[in-house]
Amino acid sequence: MRGRGEKPRPLLKRDKAMKDSSITHKADCQHTTEMLAFEHADLGYGRRTVLGDLDLVLYEGDFLGIVGPNGTGKTTILKAMLGILKPMSGQVRRNGMARFGYVPQRQFIDEVFPLTVTDVALMGRYTRLGVFARPSRRDRDSVLECLRHVGIADLATRPYRELSGGQKQRTLIARALAAEPKVMILDEPTNDMDIGSEHAIMELLKHLHDEDNITIVMVSHLLNVVVNYAKKLALIDGGLRMVGSTTEVLSSRNLSDIYEVPVEVASFGGKIVVLTGGEDA
């Protein structure tokens, strides 16, 4: 397995095409292709609205971090992005040409299933197959390539449940990659990880975004992690409080308002650090 600080391997054939297309977009029309858009969307469950009148556009090439206090609708917005949750009113438009990959919280995966890393990653290919079709040699090769790309090819035959937290997360990212997505949506990808694994996973996501031109959306409550990688931030608090580039959104005042505690934003060794406490903002 690749060491934590080691750079991920570049993807092969499929991804070369993606890279080529990304060059065009980067040069000509970056931030013009809509991947997903919320238009006056009210999101909620039953008759209870969790997020009201949501307007948000995700463009190709974005690295969007969705942050906000617990219970304010981060997961709700993510479910609507994935199409699992229909808006109560308004609309959510998804780019029909773009494939979406999803990486759930690994804690929600039931480990009683006797599945290998390859078995789990192969699930990413299922929607590409016919109803009765079995995964082909090509599917297996593609999955192995994805495992290699995230640095766990040597774990391909290991039982999923025996992996460490970081390895499980890489397996789930490989599964999302196996669907050949243009957009990858991740729910708390570094939850309950030590700082080494956390750094390695975030570097992997950075690589997927920068080198493979995958649009990334991640929900996280770990502000210090998100703000150092996401190019855009959406502050959620029962609605979309603010969205923009990370530097625009990330201010002591904005964060203090939304978290209702004094928050300081500082820089240390080239990294952004978010601190709580001190004088009231």
Partner 1 sequence: MLSVFKDSFLQTALVASLIVGAVCAYLGVYVVLRRIVFVGAALAQVSSAGVGLAMCTGKNPSLVSLILTLGGVAAFSVKSKDRRTTQESLIGIGYAVASALAVLFVAKSAQGEAHMLDVLSGNILTVTSHEVWWMTGVGLAAVMLHALLSKQFLFSMFDPETAQASGIRAGWWDLLFFLILGIIISLAIRLAGTLLVFAFLVVPAVTGLLLSQRLGRVCAIAVGASAVATIIGLYASVKMDLPSGPAIVAVLFAVLLVAWVIAKIR
For partner 1, the binding residues (CB under 8 A) are 46, 82-84, 100, 102, 104, 108-110, 112-116, 119-120, 123-124, 126-127, 129, 131-132, 134-135, 159, 175, 179, 185
Coil/strand/helix, residue 67: strand
Least distance to partner 1 from the beta carbon of 95, Å?
A: 15
- The partner residues of 91 in beta bridges, in order of sequence, read 39
Quick one: 51 or 85, whose CB is closer to partner 1? 85
C-alpha count within 13 angstroms, C-beta hemisphere, residue 240? 21
Selection from 211, 212, 173, 210 nearest residue 190 by Cα: 173
Q: How far apart are CA 226 and CA 108, in angstroms?
A: 21
Quick one: 168 or 232, whose CB is closer to partner 1? 168
Least distance to partner 1 from the beta carbon of 224, Å?
A: 27
CA dihedral 220, 80, 118, 213 (to 10 degrees): -70
Least distance to partner 1 from the beta carbon of 125, Å?
A: 9
Quick one: 160 or 259, whose CB is closer to partner 1? 160
Quick one: 119 or 198, whose CB is closer to partner 1? 119
Least distance to partner 1 from the beta carbon of 81, Å?
A: 9
Quick one: 154 or 248, whose CB is closer to partner 1? 154
Least distance to partner 1 from the beta carbon of 102, Å?
A: 4
Quick one: 59 or 100, whose CB is closer to partner 1? 100
The residue assigned the tokens 């290998």 is 116
Least distance to partner 1 from the beta carbon of 131, Å?
A: 7
- The partner residues of 113 in beta bridges, in order of sequence, read none
Selection from 184, 164, 162 nearest residue 175 by Cα: 184
Q: What angle do CA 205, 211, 213 make, to 5 degrees?
A: 80
Least distance to partner 1 from the beta carbon of 161, Å?
A: 8
Quick one: 93 or 253, whose CB is closer to partner 1? 93
What is the layout of strands, in order, in the sheet containing 34-45? 48-59, 34-45, 89-94
Burial bucket for residue 105 (CB in 10 Å: 0-12, 13-18, 19+): middle
Q: Is residue 166 a contact partner of residue 200, using CB atoms and an 8 Å limit?
A: yes
